[in-house]
Structure formats: C-alpha cells, structure tokens
Structure 1
C-alpha cells in the first residue's frame, strides 16, 4: 500500500510528475472510477479470478488517485479515508465490535438511517448518488420511498402500473415519448423489486445471454451471416436458443 501511495504521489508531483496525472481532477477521474467498478463486477460474473485480481487493483488505484487529489487540494488524505471507513464499519457492527448482542441487517439499516439524520435534516431521498447506473438508482429511490410508507402493498400494484405506462407510451407524442419510456422502466424496476429481483443484475444477465446467443448465431451463420434475411436469422436464433437452454 505504501508503494502504491508513493507511486501516485510521484505521478501527481507538479514539477516532476506525469503531465496527464497532474492535470486530473475529481470530476475527470470519476468516470474511470465507475468504469473500473463495472469491470470488477464483470470479472466476478465471468468467474475470472485472475482478471478480478487485476480489476480490483485498478479500482484501488482510483481510490488512491482521488485521495491524492484531495491531499493536494488540502481536503483530506488516504489515511483519513481509511480511518473514516474503519470507524464506520465498527459503528455499524456494534454486535461485533461493541457491547450489544443485537445485530444483523435490520440494525445496519437503522444505524445508517440515524447517520443520515445526523448529517442533515434532509429529505428521504437525500444521499442516493446521481452517478449510479439508472436501474440501480431507481431501485434505491424506491426503497427509500418505501421506508416512509410510499409503496405498493404487493406486486399487483406495480404490475398494474406497467400496463398504465404502456398505454401512455401508445398515446404519447414525439415530445413526451422519452419521458414515458422512463416511467415504464421505473415501473418495471418497481415490479422486479417487489419480487426481490435486482433489476440491474437481471439486465446484466439478460445482456450476457443475448451476447452469448448472438455470437453463437453469428458463428453458425458463417461469413454470409450479415446477408441473411430476417427469417433466416430468426431460424438461427431459435436453433441457438434451443441449444442454449
């Protein structure tokens, strides 16, 4: 860890460092941080442990990079980051590090809610990060709203909302079509949540399935695949789908 911190400090040195690294800011690095987190998730999904090791290193570098920028601008240091997360983990696990026998996810959520209230007298939805993937953020917003009783009592309500949104899309004009599709996707996330399905994970799995089947279909079609008509491509798709299970 000391070696990595020293490398980043040298890269960020205004006189002798790397011109690109010196020029970066929190804002310019943030997209890379998000990208590296997704690459970690991808390595896990593929079960590639060698790749996971590398991707975790890339993600750790992002933390070190942000911390060095913060130190350069006088905000905090990497040590402060480590102290803050260590304090938080101990605070949120009093049944492990404290003097109470109570524990589990319920207590974790209770402590998180108390921490949010202590930070500011904000609204229920405060703190849901804007940079999250849209499906994930939709689920988090819905969970926050559910905590204060704004939620369907069962999946039937969210399912009916999907039908309502489909009808609104059918009736929408060009100026409102994007908005209505957004409402539909939000409703689908809500329905998935009521079935304890992670919409983000479900869509990632759906993407992987489509990619796997399309690549197999393309390979089976050979060099002339692109020239096949839609019926021929559909026949290949069905064949691959049946084989894929």
Structure 2
C-alpha cells in the first residue's frame, strides 16, 4: 500500500474543503474499510453522528460540536463521492443545488419580494416549495422522524401557511380539553384503563397539544425532554454511587431510603 504525505492544514475554507475531498478520495481508493462502504452501510452511522452532534449542542460543549460537525461533514462528502462513482451526481452538483435552492427561496434577499418579519419568510418558503412540485405542505416532513420531532415539524409546516391558533391561551385551553378527554378514557383514581385503544389515542392528542403549546412559548419540546432525560440520568447515577458508597444495592433499598439520596442529588 502506498505511503501518502498528509495534505497540509488549510488556511481558508475553500482549501480546507478541498483538503477533506483529497483525504476522502485517497481513503476511498486505498483503505479496505472505506472502499467497502455504500450509502446503505453509512446510513446508520450518519444517524449516530447526528445524534452525537445533538448531544454536544445540548451540553454546550463547543469543542465537541466542532468535532461532531467534522464527522457529519465527512459523511456528506462520502455520500457525494459514492454517488459520483455511480455517475449520479458530484459534490459540485450538491453544493450548487443547495445554493440555487437557498437563493430561489429567499426572494426577499435575492429579488424584489418584501417581507415584514420571520412569519412572512416562512410563509413564502412553504409557498415556493409547493410551486417547486411538493404536493402537500406536509410533504417535506420525513416519515421516519421520531414522533416528538415529527409533531413539531408538522405544526411548524401548518403554521407556515397560516393554519394555526391565534394565541397561546387558546392552545392551553386545548391542552386542558385533551387532558380531560384522556381522563374520561382512563380512570386515574382506579388506575384502570376504560378502553386502552381510546386512552392511547387521547394520550397522543394530549402530547400533540402540549407540543403545540411549547411551540407557542418558544420551547423546543425535543430539547426540553432530552435535558430532563439527562437530568434524571445524572441524579440516578448519584443515587447509585451513594448507595454503593454505603454498601447498599438499590434493589434492596426502600423507596424512602432511595428518596434521601435522590433529594441530595437534586440539591447538587
């Protein structure tokens, strides 16, 4: 196997991007692992890298964000390289395509369209997408998105063409209405499902309305839930560590005993 000199570090974005292309071209032709990869084999790795980037963003770790952005960018270039080998498209096609799309969808910047605010921009964006051939405003929402994220995107898309509540008070009233409908299908005091299928449907409606309210008060529900997940994990690990320090196993402790450590974790 030939021994290549490492391409020198770049001093500007254009040469930096060219350096990445050069490195990937070399790996694709000479590394046994890189040569075997396909779009399908990379897909799950790309999803993993995207979640790692998401974690770094939520943690506010700029050094990790930088690293994960590099990993995601490498994957994007890798897909384009595979496509060029198959004669489908090149990285230049990708870059020109996204630039052309951004220019055409920002006529208030690259044209004579006037907008008043962000809402106008979003409405124009959705109208332009329909003109480009989208059969539905919701057509751009990937079917494989996690349900929580999908609900947010559906609501944002609908808002983009003016299908939305007028104010957050109406949205909260809808939350309370859906909560009552869930209670009607699930007897909370008896802890007994009246009709599990209906209860599940009403619970879904309740979640959807809560996500809608979060959007109105500018809270990203996915970020909010993930931060709560991380908070719970941190506190639970504190609970485990303290129990271990005292020679106890969680499964042998009472809930009251565990609550002592849990409350300590909350103070920390």
Alignment equivalent of 1:209, drawn from 228, 231, 236: 231
For 1:194-233, list aligned pairs within 5 A.
194-221=216-243, 222=245, 223-226=247-250, 227-233=252-258
Question: 1:85-113 CA deviation, whole Å, 9 max, x = no partner?
Answer: 22233334444444566464234313321
Residue 168 of structure 1 corresponds to 185
Aligned equivalents of 1:178, 1:240: Cα separation in 2: 33
For 1:82-101, list aligned pairs within 5 A.
82-98=95-111
CA 195–103 in structure 1, closer or farther in 2 if over 3 Å, else same: closer
Alignment equivalent of 2:215, drawn from 193, 197, 208: 193
Alignment equivalent of 1:12, drawn from 22, 28, 38: 28
CA 139–100 in structure 1, closer or farther in 2 if over 3 Å, else same: closer
Question: 1:146-194 CA deviation, whole Å, 9 max, x = no partner?
Answer: 4556555512113311332354353234x77766654443343233234
Give the conservation status (yes or no) of the 8 Å contact 2:178–2:202. no
Aligned equivalents of 1:148, 1:159: Cα separation in 2: 26
Residue 2 of structure 1 corresponds to 18
Residue 124 of structure 1 corresponds to 137
CA 181–101 in structure 1, closer or farther in 2 if over 3 Å, else same: closer
Report SS of the residue matched to 2:139. Answer: coil
Report SS of the residue matched to 2:263. Answer: helix
For 1:65-104, list aligned pairs within 5 A.
65-98=78-111, 102=115, 104=117
Residue 48 of structure 1 corresponds to 61
Aligned equivalents of 1:57, 1:121: Cα separation in 2: 32
Cα RMSD of the aligned pairs, angstroms, is 2.8
- With normalisation by structure 2, the TM-score equals 0.75
Give the conservation status (yes or no) of the 8 Å contact 1:12–1:22. yes
Aligned equivalents of 2:162, 2:122: Cα separation in 1: 16
Report SS of the residue matched to 1:224. Answer: coil
Bigger radius of gyration, 1 or 2? 2
- The alignment covers a number of residue pairs equal to 239
Deviation at 1:7, TM superposition (A): 2.7
- With normalisation by structure 1, the TM-score equals 0.81
Give the conservation status (yes or no) of the 8 Å contact 1:139–1:189. yes
Report SS of the residue matched to 1:125. Answer: helix
Identify unmatched segments of 5+ residues in structure 1: none
Aligned equivalents of 2:263, 2:134: Cα separation in 1: 55
CA 26–186 in structure 1, closer or farther in 2 if over 3 Å, else same: farther
Residue 238 of structure 1 corresponds to 263
Aligned equivalents of 2:255, 2:223: Cα separation in 1: 30
